[in-house]
């Protein structure tokens, strides 16, 4: 990101340019090395590749013209293309809150586990001198062997301290009740003896030796030092299995092929909700486009109508829903529609004696969403239509007025046919936008009311993106793999819409 900022210097001054490029490359190389060392090969490769191309673009005279595009392309590649590819990649894994880490990391976690080997036991005595504490640990089998730790302060952090036979404890020996007060701090301590054995608190009076629970065996297997049994990694499920075939948490991330996709398409607990949500997404997006278009076109016609002299004021007021940030207006509606203390139900109660359950009844929730979205979206359509209406030659209406046509006939036979073609790509874009209108659903209903019989969190008003979001970031288990698989399916739909949009735009431009 430093490149665009430094563009001025890079493009003109020679020496400065080389220095900057070298500096950025050094920084990138450092990061790449770090990433490679930690096993993030994909990240390292992407940065290496983009950094390499960047260096070439900004140093070679041949690539001069690319210097202007490269920074913006870099933005698009890193934050549009790469996340898309990454999502597809995750769709083929079991990446989730239970299988979050790489195999190597999980193995390290298991290898770092300790157990009390029980061989050595030490009686503890705690000494205090001001804020400084010291432990004296005496071997239970041999009273003459006593180790004293270095001083430590009371803290809630994990602490490793050394102990040796040469240190003398300072201060007073604490009574048992004061030791009990210190026990949270003591529990966090690991005492390292001169021969590198580690001791931790095992009871109120004792410290005991710890040993690694596992030693690494062949092919990543783990040998349990306590029982002698062997735990083997299972690359089908992404877990270590102990000798009884029980899974050991945490699991690791593995590629599981098309499993997520087959789950979406065949598992009854997911497939049912998925199809329902997919249908609702299409209906929601289509109806939104129709409603906003109808309202927007009507208002545009009225505002452009010359006999209505004061239309300038109307125009500003009508654009207002578009000017207010969407997140604020959606939340305002969320409050206004509230079943118990919302103002809308109060008005309805006063006028008709009804108070609809906007958030618990599926159909009412859906109609509320469509109402709010029409409210939010009609100004955009109105602005579009106003521009297009201006382009229709006035004499067409003159001619129709002479023939005695009414407003409805004018609309059907002149206005609509004249604007529908340039409007098509914009309508498609609006459909695509609403197909992924996550903000509206998430802020207004959050997808509620929930569907019954779904194994993943799925709601009646959820659209595909909000459903994906709930699977990935919901409160109950985060299944990134499954969410990415659904996102990948959405890519296909969006790709089709984008293609249709491109076709429609081309046909308008060719006119």
Partner 1 sequence: MAMVQPRNLKYRVWAARLFMILFICIIMFPFLMIISVSFRSGNFATGSLIPDNPSLEHWAMAFGIPWENADGSITQPTFPVLIWLWNSIKISVLTSGFILLLSTTGAYAFARLKFRFKQSMLTSMMILQMFPAVLALVAFHTIFDKLGNFIPWLGLNTHGALIVAYLGGVTMNIWLIKGYFESIDNALEESAAIDGATPWQAFRHILLPLSVPILAVVFILAFIGVIGEYPVASVLLQDMDKLTLAVGSKQFLNPQNYLWGDFAAAAVLTGLPITLIFLLAQRYLVSGLTSGGVKG
The nearer residue to partner 1, 272 or 321, going by C-beta atoms, is: 321
Q: Which is nearer to partner 1, 180 or 331 (CB)?
A: 331
382 contributes a contact to partner 1 by CB under 8 A = no
DSSP secondary structure, 295-316, as one string: HHHHHHHHHH-TT-TTHHHHHH
Q: Is 150 in the site for partner 1 (CB under 8 A)?
A: no
CB 167 within 8 Å of CB 149: yes
Does position 5 interact with partner 1 (CB under 8 A)? The reply is yes
Residues of span 51-80 touching partner 1 by CB under 8 A:
64-66, 68-69, 71-73, 75-76, 78-80
Six-digit token string for 371:
């109402």
Q: CB 31 → partner 1: shortest distance, Å? A: 5
> Of 16-24, 184-192, 226-234, 398-406, which segment contacts partner 1 by CB under 8 A?
398-406
Q: Return all residues near 375 (Cβ < 8 A) that are at least 6 apart.
A: 321, 329, 333
Contact window for partner 1 (CB under 8 A) among 141-149, 201-209, 241-249, 490-498? 490-498
Total number of residues binding partner 1 (CB under 8 A)? 105
User: Does the footprint of partner 1 cover residue 316 (CB under 8 A)?
Assistant: yes
Using rule CB under 8 A, residue 294 touches partner 1: no
Contact flags string 91-110 toward partner 1, x per CB under 8 A: ----x---------------
Question: Of all helices (H) and strands (E), which one includes residue 375?
Answer: helix 362-390
State how far the Cα of 66 lies from the Cα of 379, in Å rounded to an integer. Answer: 39
Pick from 132, 220, 322, 348 the residue near partner 1 by CB under 8 A: 322
Please say which residue, 350 or 452, places its beta carbon nearer to partner 1: 350
Contact 44, 32 (CB under 8 A): yes
- Residue 432, interface with partner 1 (CB under 8 A)? yes
Using alpha carbons only, what angle is made at residue 490 by residues 486 and 494, rounded to the nearest 5 degrees? 170
Site residues for partner 1, 324-363, by CB under 8 A, read 324-329, 331-336, 338, 341, 343, 346
Residues 429/438, Cβ–Cβ less than 8 Å:
no
Q: Judged by CB under 8 A, does residue 225 bind partner 1?
A: no
CA distance 9 to 83: 31
Output DSSP code: residue 218: G
Question: Would you tell me the crossing angle of helices 464-473 and 480-510 to the nearest 10 degrees?
Answer: 150
Query: Does 261 interact with partner 1 (rule: CB under 8 A)?
Result: no
Binding of residue 264 to partner 1 (CB under 8 A) = no
DSSP codes joined into one string, 223-291: EETTT--EEEEETTTTEEE-TTS-EESSPB--B-TTHHHHHHHH-HHHHHHHHHHHHHHHHHHHHHHHH
Which one, 157 or 310, has the nearer CB to partner 1?
310
Does 473 engage in binding with partner 1 (CB under 8 A)? yes
380 belongs to the binding site for partner 1 (CB under 8 A): yes
Q: Which of 121/334 has CB closer to partner 1?
A: 334
Q: Which one of 17, 25, 31, 192 is in contact with partner 1 (CB under 8 A)?
A: 31
DSSP 93: B
**Which listed range, 134-142, 145-153, 226-234, 315-323, lies at the site for partner 1 (CB under 8 A)?**
315-323
φ/ψ of residue 31, rounded to 5: -65, -40
Site for partner 1 in 443-462 (CB under 8 A): 443
Among candidate residues 208, 213, 66, the one with its CA nearest the CA of residue 140: 208
And the tokens for 199? Answer: 């001791």
Choose which of 442, 445, 456, 461 interacts with partner 1 (CB under 8 A). Answer: 442
The beta-strand segments (E) located in 108-263 are 114-129, 132-139, 146-149, 159-164, 172-173, 189-192, 198-203, 206-212, 214-216, 222-224, 230-234, 239-241, 247-248
Instruction: Find the binder of partner 1 among 40, 139, 206, 259 (CB under 8 A).
Output: 40
Q: Using an 8 Å Cβ cutoff, are 371 and 287 in contact?
A: no
Task: Enter the tokens of residue 358.
Answer: 């906007």
Segment 491-510, which members bind partner 1 (CB under 8 A)? 491, 494-495, 497-499, 501-502
Which residues share a beta bridge with 231? 222
- Per CB under 8 A, 419 contacts partner 1: no
Considering the rule CB under 8 A, would residue 203 count as an interface residue with partner 1? no
Span interacting with partner 1, options 122-130, 199-207, 269-277, 301-309, rule CB under 8 A: 301-309
Residue 319 binding partner 1, by CB under 8 A: yes
Q: Which of 166, 219, 394, 510 binds partner 1 (CB under 8 A)?
A: 394
State the minimum distance, in angstroms, from the CB of residue 453 to partner 1.
24
Nearest approach, Cβ of residue 55 and partner 1 (Å):
18
């Amino acid at each position: 990101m430093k490149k665009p900022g430094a563009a001025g210097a890079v493009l003109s001054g020679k020496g400065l340019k080389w220095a900057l490029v070298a500096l950025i490359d050094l920084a990138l190389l450092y990061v790449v090395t770090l990433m490679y060392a930690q096993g993030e090969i994909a990240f390292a490769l992407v940065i290496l590749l983009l950094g390499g191309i960047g260096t070439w673009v900004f140093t070679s005279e041949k690539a001069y013209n690319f210097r202007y595009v490269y920074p913006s392309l870099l933005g698009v590649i890193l934050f549009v293309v790469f996340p898309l590819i990454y999502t597809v990649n995750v769709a083929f894994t079991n990446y989730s809150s239970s299988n979050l880490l790489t195999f190597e990391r999980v193995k390290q976690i298991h290898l770092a586990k300790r157990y009390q080997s029980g061989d050595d036991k030490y009686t503890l005595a705690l000494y205090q001198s001001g804020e400084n504490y010291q432990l004296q640990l005496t071997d239970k089998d041999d009273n003459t062997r006593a180790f004293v730790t270095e001083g430590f302060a009371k803290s809630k952090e994990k602490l490793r301290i050394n102990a040796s036979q040469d240190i003398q404890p300072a201060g007073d020996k604490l009574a048992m009740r004061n030791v009990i007060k210190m026990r949270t701090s003591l529990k966090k301590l690991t005492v390292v003896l001169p021969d590198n054995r580690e001791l931790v608190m095992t009871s109120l009076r004792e410290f005991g030796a710890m040993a690694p629970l596992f030693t690494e065996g062949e092919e990543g297997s783990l040998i349990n030092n306590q029982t002698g049994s062997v735990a083997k990694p299972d690359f089908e499920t992404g877990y270590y299995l102990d000798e009884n075939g029980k899974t050991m948490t945490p699991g690791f991330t593995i590629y599981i092929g098309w499993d997520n996709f087959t789950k979406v398409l065949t598992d009854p607990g997911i497939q049912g909700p998925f199809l329902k949500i997919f249908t609702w997404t299409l209906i929601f997006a289509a109806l939104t486009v129709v409603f906003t278009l109808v309202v927007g076109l009507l208002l545009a016609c009225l505002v452009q109508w010359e006999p209505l002299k004061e239309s300038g004021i109307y125009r500003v007021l009508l654009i207002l829903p578009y000017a207010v940030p969407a997140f604020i207006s959606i939340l305002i509606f969320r409050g206004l529609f509230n079943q118990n203390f919302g103002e809308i139900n109060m008005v309805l109660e006063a006028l008709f004696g009804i108070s609809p359950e906007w958030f618990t009844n599926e159909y009412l929730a859906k109609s509320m969403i469509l109402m709010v979205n029409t409210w939010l979206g009609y100004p955009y359509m109105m602005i579009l239509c106003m521009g297009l209406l201006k382009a229709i030659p006035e004499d067409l209406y003159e001619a129709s007025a002479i023939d005695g046509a009414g407003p409805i006939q004018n609309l059907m036979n002149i206005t609509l046919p004249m604007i529908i073609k340039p409007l098509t790509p914009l309508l498609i874009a609006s459909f695509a936008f609403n197909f992924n209108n996550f903000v509206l659903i998430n802020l207004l209903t959050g997808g509620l009311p929930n569907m019954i019989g779904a194994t993943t969190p799925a709601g009646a008003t959820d659209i595909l993106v909000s459903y994906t979001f709930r699977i990935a970031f919901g409160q109950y288990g985060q299944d990134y793999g499954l969410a990415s698989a659904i996102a990948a399916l959405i890519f296909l739909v969006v790709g089709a819409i984008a293609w249709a949009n491109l076709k429609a735009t081309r046909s308008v431009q060719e006119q």
